[in-house]
Structure 1
């Protein structure tokens, strides 16, 4: 067989990705009935769902951060809860508390709203560090410990948190340990002119009424768990593992960065790249997959030097400079 004939042979996956493709297409289609544009946010949310990750969404008010998360939850036949973080919210309001039962003379544990499959935490930076700390265990270990007893979360379990980057009054800086538990930080931009016109057209057709209950539940929790296993099996070449590790190592050695990314970042880059590869119909990752997920995985994990911040340099710019220094495997 000639070289030309070899090049024309269609690529065949070693892993059946039909389930992943159906899941992704179904969720995209349902969310697209209401959300105009914001394709990156939607795809990253799906990627996080497939890789068992949590997401922090940052954007100005009115760019559909909360709505998109609610729509995602609506497409899944599973439990959904929303927690509005406020300055007076206590840890027990999130995780739950033990309540005395006079009939049995025992304390019964009453689950908090964190016990759900998809959890939306609105304005996460409105609560103090004590309440933020209540999320550490559940986000990392998918369990809650109260009064010495451990309660496991049902799978799938995904936390999606939103925050407003503009308002600083009455807000608290998220602890680094908590930020590191988010797979992605998605920065949501304003819509383009054409997209904003489409938003107006859609709103006019719906007579300014929005009923997310009209969306169909197109995916079950069991299907998500099954496809999470498929994504976890996406092949990663040793050269690409080294490529990811070198990128993370360079965040620690960069003169523009005061605090680099942790080893958890390496794992999360690989997991995100696996999800992206599966969503694109491949059972192996490429350097392009790594490059596509690197900004949302790293932008909240590195701290720039004061000099860089004063210059107005953004984390994404530094990440791209680091990428250019790392040799891409061939």
Structure 2
């Protein structure tokens, strides 16, 4: 194809390609929600990735002109986003969570949980910061929540449980990336099995909680994520049931359980009408996260 026939002919700067990519994304009807919520930010993430520029790129550089090879590479990645409907983090291999970068691939859910805000606030006012020495993260996936908890509680040991061997490998990479190998253990196994006999002041989980009907309605971008990280039987509560059933045996007397259930919140309240759930609120968006104390769990 000659240069005059290239669809990006005439585009020169970072801003040019971000605007062009965003326009094409909007025209293609892409879906967002994996770190961005609009086509402009999605295009910017991909353009910066190709150019090896960080998310803190000074705005005065947005007018910088791209070399010929860079223009072709940027256009190719933007086209992949349209053709394959892959979320940006799967194309870049990286996602940000709680202000930290994490490796991601198709073996794990892309980090986007409101747990980021909780970790950055050290789960205040729900736990005493100096009273947390052991944390358990069930269904850890990429390990982002486990790592964020380890940084929130610098004196604590964190166990991160994951059923998928491939996800566990990636979680260990992320633990090592943030220098947390001495305090974060990634354990392979099914929920409570790898931590039999252990108790924790804080147990957190972002488990699979999407029911069959909701799965069928998900946009194509979400279908690239591992089914086992999203789907939880017909009503979406299969894993939540097992978490609630075993939590009492693994919490200390003053321990706290925090679980994300997303759109399944109403179903959770209907299934356990006698449990006094505290539904947490978030300044930066997000919902469907409940908290229960060991006492409330009985």
Give the shorter-chain TM-score range. Answer: under 0.3
Q: Which has the higher contact order (CA 8 A, sep 6+)?
A: 1
Greater per-residue helix proportion: 1
What is the TM-score normalised by the length of structure 2?
Answer: 0.27
